[in-house]
A and B are shown apart, each in its own frame.
Chain A
Amino acid sequence: MRRVVAHLDLDAFFAAVEVLENPALAGVPLVVGGDPLGRGVVATASYEARAFGIRSAMSSAEAHRRCPSAVVVRPDMARYKRHSEGLWALVRAAVPVVEQVGIDEGYLDLADIAPTAGEARRFLLALQRRIRAETGLGASFGCGTGKTVAKIASDADKPVGLVVVAAGREEEFLAPLPLRALPGIGPKADKRLQVAGLERIGQLADLDDESLRLILPGATGRDLRERARGIDPRPVVAASGPSVTIGNEETFDHDIGDPAILSEHAARMAVGATERMLKEGLVARTVTVKLRYPDFRILSRATSAGQPTGDPTEITRLAELALQRALRDRPPPIRLLGVSVSRLVKGEQLHLPLEDESA
């Protein structure tokens, strides 16, 4: 069956929520982020602020320099979560399979409800209008035969964009775009591609096997070239049903700078996640540690065990390894810590070989 995948990306979500909560901020250059007098950075800038050249992840001081009149608001995650929940409830009521990948973005499987490019366009346009009418939020949509094209397309015409890439036109759509637009290129791969002089997605798509092996050996290279060609078979997976990940996170009252204290928190949360997982009769292969720094940037690192485990000691050990790797990449202080277990499988309890002893 033909695949129709849409990507929904909310426009300047944090800033949009702040405007909804305080209409006086409408039309004003608005920065959600850290204190311009401190060492904070920009989490989100409204489109008015972007006109001054302010971008996400820029230091707040730099943002202030570019637009001294910009209003700066500290992020309020609970508030954003509330608005996000309303939005996703609306989307889930309209679309049978929804894979939310963050507070403000997710993939929708439209194959059953809008199987052609024309139908997809009409459906998404109506959904976009409903989102605006019912939540007050601006949403951009991209649509194609796979996640990669959909995601890139949703970014192509922001804000309130709607770009539908017809089946068979993926390569043509991707080719002129800069390589950095292609999701999934890590820092290492990025460097190798730059060294090789590749700038456009089309250049990666055109590489023959031999050149690809030299520039990006292994499965990573083959996967990236497939995506550059617009081929991305990853399914849209609804997050309902059995848990995909189990875990929790905590925001600390005061940022924590002491790695030993962070280790203690990580161990406690790892044991808690293990218990919840075992209650569901599951064991995990992967433990992920997520850190949010004072500038709201997020870093996460994962470690995997050789075999699925339900042992709290082992899960704790894996969490500690992941934490150490994250802290090596960027030292504390830390504002928020999360520990989760994933690649969950049932049957930590092994079975007798009753049915087929040769199996």
Chain B
Amino acid sequence: MKIRCNREHLADRLAQAARAASTRANLQSAAHVRLTAESSEAPVELAATDLEMTLRVPLTADVEEPGSVLLPAKIAPELIRALNGETVELSAQDDGRVLVSAGSSSYTLYGLPVDEFPQLPEIDHEQVFETDSAVFADVVGRVKRAASRDESRPVLTGALVRFESDRITMAATDSYRLAVAEAPLSKAPPESIEAIIPVKALEEVVRLAGSDGKPLSVAIGEGLVTFGIDGIWLSVRRIEGQFPNFTALKPDGVEQSATIAKDELLEVVRRVGIVVRQNTPVRVELAPGQLSLQARTADVAEGAESIPVAATGTETIEIGFNHEFLRDGIESVPGDEVKLSLISSLRPALLESVDGAFWYVIMPIRI
């Protein structure tokens, strides 16, 4: 294998692919980026995997000799970025070694033999449909924080992603709160389809999509979901299992609710949060004319805030929330207003957008 290419381009693309490489010490072979140059006609492919998520990144290069090598994921991007000169040349030596030369510099990377690289999953290109990357990124951003980080409940570490003919729905929950976002799609698959997808992979897709509205390709297969943007393919294993029936978790029998200016509420919640430590609850009291928030940490500080509101009910309900959960929920609501609905101090509370396209259930802290 021998290629020559633009040094900056190679450094960028290597760094992009390396994001999927394994950081685990017991997976030496997966701590590499595989570079495959099939022929002088086809683009060079950079691939990396941690066995959960796989990234395939195209590279523009002149192929002098076809072949493939493994480049150490940790140092190769850094080294190539630091070299002098516009062009860099990579050529395979014996035993997995790769000679890197640019300008007057010459380095040898000790990669593993290429046949030790993990088998990568096949992408089923027949399944691929296109959708709006900006809409997809927006709904991921609204639900991702509600997902669990607790690996002992794998289903909850993912988001349920459901494509229907005219819209996308995403839901995530860590059992303390549940976020559900829905948005219309101009481009969608021919049939409804859904999968539980690790949130880490969804965040990576959002990163790849950037902000310039490139079309997003999606293929949802048996065990694998693949996303394609701008020639880069990200595949991730679907999370097996049954996602909670989230529509059944939307509270009903609301006793008291109010619609509040989101910025004002957020400002108050962030401020009162300054005096919150660990699990001390934020006490929220929704009365017919007023929403009050209160927090107190012993020996540190306490504070109280209130906002005039026009509540729909006649009751006064007091409820305690984890500060972070409350703030996440309000921040995730799209639009300028947030509707807060309460049933009682021990029942789930609902935060939602006025159009109902986003809703967030938050379980109280017993106070």
Do B297 and A275 touch across chains, with their CB atoms under 8 A apart? Answer: yes
4 nearest A-B pairs in the assembled complex, by CB-CB distance: A271-B298, A275-B298, A311-B367, A350-B363
B248 touches A (CB below 8 Å): yes
Contacts A275-B280, A350-B346 hold; do A307 and B173 have CB atoms under 8 A apart?
no
Assembled-state Cα–Cα distance A351/B361 (Å): 11
B279 touches A (CB below 8 Å): yes
B176 neighbours in A (Cβ, 8 Å): 349-352
Do B173 and A350 touch across chains, with their CB atoms under 8 A apart? Answer: no
**Interchain nearest-CB distance for B325 vs A (Å):** 8
Assembled-state Cα–Cα distance A151/B291 (Å): 57
Report B136-162 residues with CB < 8 Å from chain A CB: 156
B329 touches A (CB below 8 Å): no
Chain B interface size, as a band, is 20 to 34
B299 neighbours in A (Cβ, 8 Å): 271-272, 275
B307 touches A (CB below 8 Å): no
Most interface-central of B245, B249, B296, B366 (chain A CB within 10 A): B366
Do B281 and A311 touch across chains, with their CB atoms under 8 A apart? Answer: yes
B173 neighbours in A (Cβ, 8 Å): 352, 354
A274 touches B (CB below 8 Å): yes
A313 neighbours in B (Cβ, 8 Å): 296
Do B175 and A311 touch across chains, with their CB atoms under 8 A apart? Answer: no
A310 touches B (CB below 8 Å): yes
Q: Which of A279, A308, A353 contacts B278 (CB 8 A)?
A: A279
B311-330 Cβ-contact flags toward A at 8 Å (1 or 0): 00000000010100000000
Assembled-state Cα–Cα distance A60/B362 (Å): 61
B273 touches A (CB below 8 Å): no
A46 touches B (CB below 8 Å): no
* 11 residue pairs A–B, Cβ–Cβ below 8 Å: A275-B299, A281-B279, A307-B366, A311-B283, A348-B281, A348-B365, A348-B366, A352-B249, A352-B348, A352-B361, A354-B244
Assembled-state Cα–Cα distance A207/B286 (Å): 58
B273-292 Cβ-contact flags toward A at 8 Å (1 or 0): 00001111101000000000
B283 neighbours in A (Cβ, 8 Å): 311
A131 touches B (CB below 8 Å): no
**Interchain nearest-CB distance for A331 vs B (Å):** 29
Do A310 and B361 touch across chains, with their CB atoms under 8 A apart? Answer: no
**Interchain nearest-CB distance for A285 vs B (Å):** 11
Report A44-74 residues with CB < 8 Å from chain B CB: none
B178 touches A (CB below 8 Å): yes
Does more than half of chain A's interface fall in helix, strand or loop, or is it mixed?
mixed
Do A349 and B322 touch across chains, with their CB atoms under 8 A apart? Answer: yes
Do B279 and A310 touch across chains, with their CB atoms under 8 A apart? Answer: yes
Do B248 and A357 touch across chains, with their CB atoms under 8 A apart? Answer: yes
A349 neighbours in B (Cβ, 8 Å): 176, 279, 322, 363, 365
A99 touches B (CB below 8 Å): no
A259 touches B (CB below 8 Å): no
A312 neighbours in B (Cβ, 8 Å): 280, 296, 298
Assembled-state Cα–Cα distance A313/B285 (Å): 15
Report A272-329 residues with CB < 8 Å from chain B CB: 272, 274-275, 278-279, 281, 283, 307-314
Assembled-state Cα–Cα distance A309/B364 (Å): 12
Q: Which residues of B contact A (CB under 8 A)?
A: 156, 173, 175-178, 244-245, 248-249, 277-281, 283, 296-299, 320, 322, 346, 348, 361, 363-367
Assembled-state Cα–Cα distance A310/B282 (Å): 12
Beyond the given pairs A279-B278, A310-B366, 10 more chain A to chain B contacts, judged by CB atoms under 8 angstroms and listed by A's residue number, are: A311-B283, A348-B365, A348-B366, A350-B364, A352-B175, A352-B178, A352-B361, A353-B249, A354-B156, A354-B173
Assembled-state Cα–Cα distance A278/B363 (Å): 17
A342-359 Cβ-contact flags toward B at 8 Å (1 or 0): 000000111111100100
Which residue of chain B has its CB nearest to the CB of A278?
B279
Q: Which of A271, A275, A308 contacts B366 (CB 8 A)?
A: A308
**Interchain nearest-CB distance for A55 vs B (Å):** 42
Assembled-state Cα–Cα distance A117/B249 (Å): 58
A351 neighbours in B (Cβ, 8 Å): 175-176, 363
**Interchain nearest-CB distance for B146 vs A (Å):** 11
Which residue of chain A has its CB nearest to the CB of B176?
A349
**Interchain nearest-CB distance for A319 vs B (Å):** 13
Do B366 and A283 touch across chains, with their CB atoms under 8 A apart? Answer: yes
**Interchain nearest-CB distance for B155 vs A (Å):** 9
Which residue of chain B has its CB nearest to the CB of A277?
B279
Which residue of chain B has its CB nearest to the CB of A275?
B298
B365 neighbours in A (Cβ, 8 Å): 310, 348-350
A357 neighbours in B (Cβ, 8 Å): 245, 248
Most interface-central of A278, A312, A352 (chain B CB within 10 A): A352
Q: Which of A275, A281, A310, A352 contacts B277 (CB 8 A)?
A: A275
A283 neighbours in B (Cβ, 8 Å): 366
**Interchain nearest-CB distance for B300 vs A (Å):** 8
Assembled-state Cα–Cα distance A66/B192 (Å): 95
Do A348 and B279 touch across chains, with their CB atoms under 8 A apart? Answer: yes
Assembled-state Cα–Cα distance A348/B299 (Å): 21
Do B280 and A354 touch across chains, with their CB atoms under 8 A apart? Answer: no
Most interface-central of A279, A309, A349, A351 (chain B CB within 10 A): A349
Which residue of chain A has its CB nearest to the CB of B280?
A278
Assembled-state Cα–Cα distance A357/B346 (Å): 16
B248 neighbours in A (Cβ, 8 Å): 357
Assembled-state Cα–Cα distance A326/B278 (Å): 33
Assembled-state Cα–Cα distance A275/B177 (Å): 24
**Interchain nearest-CB distance for B240 vs A (Å):** 16
Assembled-state Cα–Cα distance A281/B361 (Å): 21
Do A352 and B367 touch across chains, with their CB atoms under 8 A apart? Answer: no
Assembled-state Cα–Cα distance A357/B247 (Å): 13
Which residue of chain B has its CB nearest to the CB of A305?
B366
Contacts A272-B298, A349-B176, A352-B348 hold; do A278 and B278 have CB atoms under 8 A apart?
yes
Assembled-state Cα–Cα distance A219/B58 (Å): 77
A271 neighbours in B (Cβ, 8 Å): 298-299
